Structure 1
Amino acid sequence: MVLSREGVPAELARGLEDRLTGIPGLDAVRERIAAWRQASENGPGAHIHAMLLGLRRLDAINMAYGAAAGDGALEEVASRIAHFANEELDGHWLLARAGGGSFALVANEACSRERWQLVADQLAEAVSRPIAVPSGVLRLSPRIALIRALADEGVDSMLDRLGHALESARDQQGTRLAWAEGEATPPGHSAAQLEADLLGAIDRDEIEILFQPQFSLEDDRLTGAEALARWKHPRLGRIGAGGLFAIAERADHVAPLSRHIAAKALEAAGNWPKALRLSINVTPADLAFGNYVRQMLDLVRASGFPPRRLTLEVTEQALIGDISQAAQILAEFSAQGIRIALDDFGAGFCNFRYLKVLPIHYLKLDRSMIDGITTDKRDVAVLRAIVAMAKALDLQVIAEGIEEEAQRQVAAREGCAYYQGFLRAQPMSTAMFDSLARSVG
């Protein structure tokens, strides 16, 4: 599990490590913030943000599902917070256990109040996703307290104010986020304003395309990249893909945004060496749009990018609406030489009917299927079974979220074909990916 953008010093980790989740305690927060402030050139309180996430109903979960399920839920929540912070935060950050069902996330991040609240809202969504346990499915309802540190404010004062704010959020029905008291409250950037901003973001060229490189597990060569989107908001700064599409969904703007991302990604990939593939994500709004196939194929033709080098990644969520219609749409793409990947495999309920009716070429494993393969024999057994099933169906397996060399080795040994993750490369700009492609081509 990633605990911090910087990592936790060994001497600190030994004394502070929480045996359940493997993450440090609050003393690590005090140490890290002190180090950030000492290194800061902009004053003692520059850019220190924090949030305290608390989980409700843990006692009820332990009674209904057993203590092991409760412990497993805490471990999953810690993992989700760490992965979210890795993807959404630009600066240094640290995740710590605050006791019971509470976690503290602190960041040395230059961002506005509105941006920090948006990050917290998206983190709450990530933690709220269903968690599968042996005896059922858990659905957690997190509450999050937020703070922007005052100048010269001590860490204990920050934690105390966060604690009071979290208690207040827990006591108020329907309240998920709460700001700690004692700080200035500038006018907020409302959800309606964000939606209005997004409608013009495409015309203002604020949507940036990043590329997550993908590699062969057989020989570690670069094989292509997945296109990702970020919003360079003029006031709030960088908004990640999760926040971007959540805003787009509220504004009923997902389909135009998705087409814009596809067009920019195809244009950028036109300069790649001929061996590299491009992967583009398909949204539920895409599959529900009657002219999606025609519009997408028009984009491919206009870009000049060969269809045989294009992969469309579709998640189980995108297939829930109308599986028959989705199968027909994907079959039309497949007939043009475009390949189809079933994305985030293992994250949902793994409806195996999809493997029967869809023209799939790849299974792309969710990172949750990779996290434990270096330490848990059951996780390895599940991976082995998935790979065996994929081979029987003539599918190739892509491992997502590879962050350690040991994970890469296990995935290669068990027969996965490709991988992506922070072990080799983080998402990068078009120019950086072009440079990488030239250096290995």
Structure 2
Amino acid sequence: MSQLSSALRLTLIYLLLAGAWIFLGAALTHALPLGGLTSEKVYLLRHVAFALLSALALYALLRAHERQQQRYRRELHRHDERLRQAAVVFEATQEGVLVSDAQMRIIHVNPAFTRITGYREDEVLGQTPRVLKSGRHDQAFYQAMWQSIAKTRSWSGEIWNRRKNGEIYPQWQNLRAIQDESGRTTHYVAVFSDISAIKHSQSELDYLAHHDLLTDLPNRLRFVDRVEHALEYSRLHQSGGAVMILDLDHFKYINESYGHNSGDQLLKAIGQRLRAHLREGITLARLGGDEFAVLYEDCQSPTQAAALARNLLEALQAPIEIDNRPLVVSGSIGISLYPRDAQSVEQLLRNADSALFKAKSEGRQTFVFYHQELTALSRQRIELTIALRQALDRGQLRLYFQPIVDLHNGRQVGAEALLRWQHPERGLVPPGEFIPLAEETGQIAQLDIWALEQACRQLAAWPHLEFLAVNISSRLFGRSELDSQVAEILARTGAEPRRLELEITESAVMDDPDAALELMRRLRQLGVRLAIDDFGTGYSSLARLKEMPVQKLKIDQSFVQGLADDGPDLAIVNSVITLGHSLGLKVLAEGIEQPEQAERLCQLGCDFGQGYLFGRPQPASPEQLTQGAT
């Protein structure tokens, strides 16, 4: 088109010049004095001149055209050279390149695209870039991307895509829209780099910045960050926790005696040992030197913090072999509770450090709370916990039995087995003191199994009782294998299943109603009785209750104590009795101490009663058991 325009332009110029000569030449011939020249000679001279001038004009025009063509060829050559260079770059670049048409159909990719994504060119041609989509980004991400392209014709940013093998990886991508002279988008070009290695390096740098190189534990920076998050969580959820600082006693003597290399090995081994004694969710960090820190986020009481501190100190007592030498170290721990003691990281750490100083001043190898009264109380509870662990092995546990009577005739029909602890120094430890402790430490399930087996043995020796009731804790009831354990005990003791009654608390049932219902059905298949203990305190639904294969409801003693006032307690007790009978269940009221209470319960239709009015819990003696139950 450009060459045609040039030829037409030259032709027009020539016609203009020729026309101008014809008219000007004739005018000049008449105007100039020609002397004696004839008209033929004048005509000839005029045509010769026209030929000369035409030749000069054509030469000038052709020369100009030739120079223009040379410039065009040079420009075309440079353009071809740039295209060849671009093609080399396109093929050799380490960045992946994807070219699509205006409808987002892929029309070209480079070798780097194949290397990065795993897709060959023939596998993606005609496809859309959605074939690479990872699914990691939401719709808002892509909307923002296309809004940027519509506004600026480009977008740059980090995006996660999927390789052919399914691996999701990060890219840094530059996406540009290509438009023609009219502004219409004709193509899209995406240039991207695989930044997996960069991400990995960033992760490594972040790990190194927040972890101790020697022990591979979180360092002070990471520990402070986690404590800040824990305090924020505590404020939002009204919960608490503990921060402990553990310092090794006389560690400098090890460095001085065996060298810093042995000291480093010892610190590394201690970090591994302490970490092995911590459950998931508890953070252990090395603050520096021979100082470690612990963040116990879901610590519900000082007793739990004290128990953990004692376990850590006990873990340090075993020798650690370094360079074929057994080394023994001890430690001291300072404990600060939040939000009780402090609500900032700095104050919390200062409090724990103050408590640590106090522990060292008290002779080391111990733990101390920031508040001294917690230290004494916690140590006492820990001593009791240790003694309780030994009570079963040392034969200090006892079963006491309390009569259960028929309220309508006063006849004893059964008894409830109650666990007691005969401590060699403290005497009979109250159940309200050691039962909650056993529940906190997880020992209650083991105690329940022992009590269940002893009760079954006693049941076999008491044929006059219709049934013997045994409490099952929520922790033991939460075990799906409870039915098989009960079956084994019944087989070992020879007790009749129909005379064994298992009392399950209402709250234990409501922890997981579906699992509880299935377990109760399996227990009923063994032939044992089931009773819901402390009914009215666990918020169970009537829909669940009617499905439960139980035979008895036990009214909690807190409702029985207020019967004489004709208040809400009387209404609740009456409702429970009515509800139980409507479901075909027997009802038992516990905590009966006054004759008026027994009489009122009998008037309400309650079936059975239990309490000090009929007899206190006594050791296994038929005479003592039946005393007062007439």
TM-score, scaled to structure 1: 0.55
Cα drift, residue 435 of structure 1:
4.5
Instruction: Name which of 444, 448, 460 aligns with 1:254.
Output: 444
After superposition, the C-alpha distances for 1:86-140 in whole angstroms (9 at most, x for unaligned) are xxxxxxxxxxxxxxxxxxxxxxxxxxxxxxxxxxx9xxxxxxxxxxxxxxxxxxx
Cα distance change on mapping 1:175 and 1:379 into 2, 3 Å: farther
Task: Give the gaps of 5 or more residues in structure 2.
Answer: 1-302, 304-368
Cα distance change on mapping 1:371 and 1:211 into 2, 3 Å: same
Mapped contact 1:373–1:407 kept (Cα < 8 A) = yes
Tell whether 2:455 aligns with 1:265: yes
Task: Give the gaps of 5 or more residues in structure 1.
Answer: 1-120, 122-172, 180-184
Percentage of identical aligned residues: 30
Tell whether 2:497 aligns with 1:307: yes
Mapped contact 1:307–1:338 kept (Cα < 8 A) = yes
Structure number with higher relative contact order (C-alpha < 8 Å, ≥ 6 residues apart)? 1
Mapped contact 2:615–2:629 kept (Cα < 8 A) = no
* Aligned residue in 1 for 2:386: 196
Q: How far apart are the structure 1 equivalents of 2:570 and 2:480?
A: 41
Cα drift, residue 415 of structure 1:
0.6
Mapped contact 1:311–1:339 kept (Cα < 8 A) = yes
Mapped contact 1:210–1:229 kept (Cα < 8 A) = yes
Q: For 1:287-436, what aligned pairs fall within 5 Å after superposition?
A: 287-431=477-621, 433-436=622-625
* Counterpart amino acid of residue 514 in structure 2: S
Cα distance change on mapping 1:218 and 1:176 into 2, 3 Å: farther
* Counterpart amino acid of residue 483 in structure 2: V
Cα drift, residue 316 of structure 1:
1.8
Cα drift, residue 347 of structure 1:
2.8
* Aligned residue in 1 for 2:395: 205
Q: How far apart are the structure 1 equivalents of 2:608 and 2:590?
A: 9
More helix per residue: 1 or 2?
2
After superposition, the C-alpha distances for 1:261-295 in whole angstroms (9 at most, x for unaligned) are 11111112221134431001111111222321111
Deviates more, 1:305-314 or 1:194-203: 194-203
Q: How far apart are the structure 1 equivalents of 2:373 and 2:410?
A: 43
Q: How far apart are the structure 1 equivalents of 2:372 and 2:543?
A: 36
Mapped contact 2:410–2:629 kept (Cα < 8 A) = no
* Aligned residue in 2 for 1:218: 408
After superposition, the C-alpha distances for 1:171-227 in whole angstroms (9 at most, x for unaligned) are xx9989789xxxxx9x99633332222222111110110011100011000011111
Q: For 1:64-213, what aligned pairs fall within 5 Å after superposition?
A: 190-213=380-403
Q: How far apart are the structure 2 equivalents of 1:346 and 1:209?
A: 27
* Aligned residue in 1 for 2:215: none
Q: How far apart are the structure 1 equivalents of 2:372 and 2:541?
A: 31
* Counterpart amino acid of residue 531 in structure 2: A
After superposition, the C-alpha distances for 1:217-241 in whole angstroms (9 at most, x for unaligned) are 1100001111101111223222222
Mapped contact 2:614–2:629 kept (Cα < 8 A) = no
TM-score, scaled to structure 2: 0.39
Cα drift, residue 258 of structure 1:
0.8
* Counterpart amino acid of residue 251 in structure 1: T
* Counterpart amino acid of residue 208 in structure 1: R
Q: How far apart are the structure 2 equivalents of 1:424 and 1:435?
A: 11
Q: How many residues align?
A: 263
Cα distance change on mapping 1:440 and 1:368 into 2, 3 Å: closer
Mapped contact 1:282–1:318 kept (Cα < 8 A) = no
* Counterpart amino acid of residue 326 in structure 1: A
Mapped contact 1:346–1:365 kept (Cα < 8 A) = yes
Q: How far apart are the structure 1 equivalents of 2:372 and 2:490?
A: 42
- Which structure's CA Rg is the greater one? 2
* Counterpart amino acid of residue 352 in structure 1: L
Cα drift, residue 313 of structure 1:
0.5
Cα distance change on mapping 1:332 and 1:188 into 2, 3 Å: closer
SS of the aligned residue for 1:196 comes to helix
After superposition, the C-alpha distances for 1:130-172 in whole angstroms (9 at most, x for unaligned) are xxxxxxxxxxxxxxxxxxxxxxxxxxxxxxxxxxxxxxxxxxx
Tell whether 2:418 aligns with 1:228: yes
